[in-house]
Homo-oligomer: A and B are copies of this chain.
Amino acid sequence: MTARHDVQQADVLAICKSCETRQGGLCGALKARQLVELAKASSRHEILAGTELPNDGTYSSLLSGVVKLTRNLSDGRQQIVGFYFAPDFLGRPFEAKRPIKTEALTNVALCSFPRTVIDRMIDETPELGRQLLRHALGELDDARDWMAALGRKTASEKIASFLLMVARNIAASGHPGNSTSFDLPLTRADIADFLGLTIETVSRELSRLRSDGAIRIANKRQISLPSISQLEQRCGD
């Protein structure tokens, strides 16, 4: 195998491992031979922050960075309907009829697999299909959690829940440092679009949490959570 393929195989392994964060693990389902085949068929992409990801019907492993999914109303109102923190798996290869946009929030590295290859591997290894199903159902659970937050939580509960979710995702991604102190990869506008609020309300609620001692903020984006339990009490569920 050429060096090129070695590198890609390492990527595949890294990516498969990342899928285990949600549950199960893609790699576990596949034989070594299939991993090599996947590596040969895959392609690696580096995408700059702010760029839209192509909706080309491929499956992708997110190697590093953060991706957001946005749905727009006709007059420009925006709702963020999902985040992907590396390592995770973007598996929405069936044509999306809905006006949903996929965008890199930070610089992003990903590894994409043609749908045809994955489809064939599902035939060889049905466990892969179950794995993808499990992953999709995990995303569905997350989406439903956020529906409850959007519909029924107050602004400050939304902010507390959001910070906890980010902390958990950052923790799962195994970033340097502990998960209670992290660099928020989102602007206030992104947070507002995720929580169904305005940037002013987001800013005010963050300030309030800070003056209450529930969080610390350095340089706008550097957040630390001295007391997870205090946040949990504020998140409404």
Residues of chain A touching chain B, judged by Cβ–Cβ distance below 8 Å, are 23, 69, 71-75, 77-79, 81-82, 92, 94, 96-100, 119, 122-123, 126, 129-130, 132-134, 136-137, 139-141, 143-148, 150-153, 193, 195-196, 236-237
Q: When A119-B130, A122-B130 are in contact, do A140 and B136 touch as well, CB less than 8 Å?
A: yes
Q: How far is the CA of A146 from the CA of B98 in the complex (A)?
A: 12
- Whether the pair B73, A236 counts as a contact (CB closer than 8 A) is yes
Q: List 12 A-B contacts (CB under 8 A).
A: A73-B237, A75-B236, A77-B153, A77-B236, A81-B147, A81-B148, A97-B141, A119-B130, A132-B133, A133-B133, A143-B143, A151-B193
Contacts of A122 in B (CB 8 A): 126, 129-130
Number of identical protomers: 2
Q: How far is the CA of A153 from the CA of B71 in the complex (A)?
A: 12
- Whether the pair B237, A141 counts as a contact (CB closer than 8 A) is no
Q: When A129-B126, A129-B130, A136-B133 are in contact, do A147 and B150 touch as well, CB less than 8 Å?
A: yes
> From residue A236, how far is it (CB to closest CB) to chain B in Å?
5
- Whether the pair A98, B141 counts as a contact (CB closer than 8 A) is yes
- Whether the pair A137, B92 counts as a contact (CB closer than 8 A) is yes
- Whether the pair A79, B133 counts as a contact (CB closer than 8 A) is no
Q: How far is the CA of A148 from the CA of B98 in the complex (A)?
A: 12
Contacts of A74 in B (CB 8 A): 236-237
Known: A146-B147, A151-B193. 18 other contacts (CB 8 A): A71-B145, A72-B237, A73-B236, A79-B152, A81-B144, A81-B148, A94-B137, A98-B141, A98-B144, A99-B237, A122-B130, A129-B129, A129-B130, A129-B132, A132-B133, A136-B137, A150-B150, A150-B151
> From residue A74, how far is it (CB to closest CB) to chain B in Å?
5
- Whether the pair A151, B236 counts as a contact (CB closer than 8 A) is no
> From residue A170, how far is it (CB to closest CB) to chain B in Å?
20
Contacts of A77 in B (CB 8 A): 152-153, 236
Contacts of A136 in B (CB 8 A): 133, 136-137, 140
- Whether the pair B132, A98 counts as a contact (CB closer than 8 A) is no
- Whether the pair A71, B147 counts as a contact (CB closer than 8 A) is yes
